[in-house]
Amino acid sequence: MREASLAYASVRLLAQDLAAAGYPTLRFDYPAAGNSLDGDLNQTGLHWTSWQRSIDGAIDWLRGVSGARRVVLLGLATGGALATLVAAARRDVAGLMLFEPVIVGRSHIRQLILEGDLQRGASMPRELGLEIRENRFGSLTVAQIGETDLREVVPPADMTVAIFARPESKAADDCARAWSGRGVAVTRGGFDGLEALVHQELLDEVPLADFTPAIAWLKEAVPPAPPSMATIDLPVFVLQPPGCIDTPLRFGPENRLFGVLCRPERGTPTDIVLIPTGGREPSYGAARQNVVLARRLAEAGIASFRFDFAGIGDSAGPPGKERVLSHAFTDRAADVKAAVDTLETLGFSRFAMHGLCLGAFHALHAGAVEPRVSALVLINLPVFMVPASNALGQLEQRGRSAGHYLAKLLRPSSWGNLLGGRSNLAALRRAALFHLHSQTVGRLERLAQRAGLRSTKSFAHRAMATLSQRGVRTLYLFSNGPEDIESFAAEFGADGAGLAAYPGAEMRIVPGMDHSLTITAGRVPAETMMVEFVLAGRPASDGV
């Protein structure tokens, strides 16, 4: 779910802070979410009951390894609703900490249906359930979510509860009053410092959520047990989906970085695909597409390593920046080198690299300087270089022509908005000039280079020349939208003809593929192209 991705790094810090405060803490992914196994959940669609059972299993496991008699459940958004339902049915839950919980399921499911329909570009017949990102909810799960109303749930009277929600959340206020009226000790907390749980800047370095008030409440409401001298000796856990083995790895300086190595169940391949995070999502991907790709590669006999860049997901930021989400354009070459170094010690010797959106930007830049990378798969590469100014604006303006903005400047309604303070004339002017340069001056520069009148090459051409000289194979994949291919087309043409100068490089348009690979119908053929491309680069003696 998107809410889990947004809050992922902040929740990691919360778990660490709780452990430091004396509370053994477990974070986990629901079945068919994150890195967890799928089973047949997306076929049965019974997510709501399965997810509640997984919380029960997590409670039992944590109590078993820690020796705790009672637990506290923490939940964000949908997780808050699930935690409340589970807590109401048990007698070993001492407290609930809910962050922006889903109170009224009927409203929530309407939002999910709208988002799912917008994502797919068409309405899904309601009797078939709901497909949204990585999940395909059955009609029963849709009904169960819609029937959930936490105001009608009755937690045990001896349970203490804190609801941290934005001040304007009337549903949270109503829920707190309803529970208090039934004898439950409820604290209605604010949301100061917690905005990072529900909102994420696209590019900028920003602080992660500050849970100081929440932890202070917990220490008073459910004090930690006296420290024990006994240590909890946990084995290295592995997951075994069909045909492969997932193993978590810490790597890099002081083991600050995190990834998951996915190996084929049989054989000892020497080639491996690096799958770094794309943008701000944790390593499993926007619709856990990195997990799905890794397991498809394993079925084809290829290992992979999906990992978080520093300051993203499960990887800590550099010293002094452990509590911030790193800037999206931070140089990631050192992280890639650390991953390759670690994988070399495990016996891998041929390295391909995959990247989606900003992950493609970092894969290209790191691949150009990391000599051990022999293949690149770059999906919806947004830009070749960090924009010199107004980076966010330039990314948002992709796919729109200079004429679009010039016409907007001449439109009477636009001037009404300008005079009323609802539009920014300077921003419109910059947008128009940006596109005039990229589409006019940029075109002239390419013509001059082809005619030999200008020898200075752009980074895109220098990078492709370097990769081609090293024998690196490069595959660019793009969605149909003009915004995704704009930067590439400015350098190599919309048909990719400019890549002909660089042996081993090719470009393809994937019909039906959306920008973030969240729609199954477009993602599956894209995955097939990726797997075939990697397989084509293996020596004949390594055939599966």
Q: Are 350 and 340 in contact (CB under 8 A)?
A: no
248, 314: one domain: yes
Cα separation, 472 vs 364, whole angstroms: 11
63, 190: one domain: yes
Residue 70 has pLDDT above 60, yes or no: yes
186, 317: one domain: no
Residue 35 has pLDDT above 60, yes or no: yes
Local structure of residue 540 (DSSP, 8 states): G
Sheet strands (E) in 308-444: 324-325, 350-356, 373-379
Work out the average pLDDT over 228-234.
73
Q: Are 87 and 73 in contact (CB under 8 A)?
A: yes
Q: What are phi and psi of 184, to 5 degrees?
A: -85, 135
Helix, strand, or coil (residue 41): helix
Q: How far is CA 251 from CA 216, 257, 315, 344, in A?
A: 33, 5, 9, 12
Q: What are phi and psi of 199, to 5 degrees?
A: -140, 140
Identify the bridge partners of residue 28 per DSSP, sorted by sequence position. none
Residue 363 has pLDDT above 50, yes or no: yes
Cα separation, 90 vs 329, whole angstroms: 46
Residue range 398-417, pLDDT digits in tens: 555 444 444 444 555 544 54
CA 66 to chain centre: 31
Residue 456's pLDDT band, with cuts at 50, 70 and 90, is low
Cα separation, 331 vs 364, whole angstroms: 11
97, 136: one domain: yes
Q: Are 97 and 63 in contact (CB under 8 A)?
A: no
In a domain, 239, yes or no: no
In a domain, 236, yes or no: no
Final residue belonging to a domain, choices 426, 457, 488: 457
Burial class of residue 181 in the structure, from the number of CB atoms within 10 Å of its CB (0-12 exposed, 13-18 middle, 19+ buried): exposed
In a domain, 342, yes or no: yes
In a domain, 228, yes or no: no
Q: How far is CA 463 from CA 328, 330, 377, in A?
A: 20, 18, 14
Residue 119 has pLDDT above 90, yes or no: no
345, 197: one domain: no
66, 212: one domain: yes
360, 290: one domain: yes
Work out the average pLDDT over 52-63.
96
Work out the average pLDDT over 252-262.
97
DSSP 97-146: EEES---BHHHHHHHHHHHHHHHHTSPPPGGG-EEETTEEE-HHHHHHHH
Identify the bridge partners of residue 131 per DSSP, sorted by sequence position. 136
Amino acid identity, position 317? G
Identify the bridge partners of residue 378 per DSSP, sorted by sequence position. 355, 476
Closest CA to 312 of 298, 327, 300, 299: 327
Work out the average pLDDT over 424-428.
53
Residue range 299-337, pLDDT digits in tens: 999 999 999 999 999 999 999 999 999 999 999 999 999
CA 526 to chain centre: 18
Q: Residue 182 is encoded by which pair of tokens?
A: 């039934």
**pLDDT on residue 118:** 77
Residue 447's pLDDT band, with cuts at 50, 70 and 90, is low
CB contact set of 154 (below 8 Å; sequence gap of 6+): 88, 179, 182
**pLDDT on residue 422:** 45
Cα separation, 382 vs 483, whole angstroms: 8
Q: Regarding predicted confidence, which is higher, 264 or 443?
A: 264
In a domain, 177, yes or no: yes
Identify the bridge partners of residue 71 per DSSP, sorted by sequence position. 93
**pLDDT on residue 397:** 57
232-244 per-residue burial string, b: 16 or more CB within 10 A, e: under 16: eeeeeeebebeeb
420, 464: one domain: no
In three-state form (DSSP H/G/I as H, E/B as E, the rest C), the secondary structure along 235-253 is CCCCECCCCEEEEEEEECH
Helix, strand, or coil (residue 349): coil
Cα separation, 8 vs 1, whole angstroms: 11
Cα separation, 374 vs 371, whole angstroms: 8
Residue range 529-543, pLDDT digits in tens: 999 999 998 876 554
| Number of domains the chain is built from | 3
283, 296: one domain: yes
Final residue belonging to a domain, choices 457, 481, 497: 457
217, 72: one domain: yes
Query: Tell me, what CATH number does 473's domain have?
Result: 3.40.50.1820
Cα angle for residues 148, 151, 80 (degrees, 5° grid): 60
205, 76: one domain: yes
Q: Regarding predicted confidence, which is higher, 429 or 169?
A: 169
pTM comes to 0.86
**Which of 153-157, 469-473, 500-504 comes out lowest in average pLDDT?**
153-157
**pLDDT on residue 392:** 58
In a domain, 231, yes or no: no
Q: Regarding predicted confidence, which is higher, 507 or 269?
A: 507
Q: Residue 342 is encoded by which pair of tokens?
A: 């670690």
Q: What share of the chain in percent tops pLDDT 70? A: 85
81, 144: one domain: yes
**pLDDT on residue 403:** 47
Residue 450's pLDDT band, with cuts at 50, 70 and 90, is low
Closest CA to 373 of 477, 452, 472, 255: 472
In a domain, 235, yes or no: no
**Which of 54-58, 76-80, 459-463, 534-538 comes out lowest in average pLDDT?**
534-538
72-92 per-residue burial string, b: 16 or more CB within 10 A, e: under 16: bbbbbbbbbbbbbbbbeeeee
In a domain, 337, yes or no: yes
Closest CA to 447 of 485, 498, 409: 498
Final residue belonging to a domain, choices 439, 457, 475: 457
CB contact set of 519 (below 8 Å; sequence gap of 6+): 119, 120, 512, 513
User: What's the chain's average pLDDT?
Assistant: 87
Decide the pairing of beta strands 93-99 and 160-164: parallel
Sheet strands (E) in 383-472: none
Q: How far is CA 344 from CA 270, 273, 339, in A?
A: 9, 12, 9
Range of the domain at 447: 387-457
Alpha helices in 165-241 (DSSP H): 170-181, 212-221
When mean pLDDT is compared over 27-31, 433-437, 516-520, 537-541, the highest value belongs to 27-31
Q: Regarding predicted confidence, which is higher, 451 or 523?
A: 523
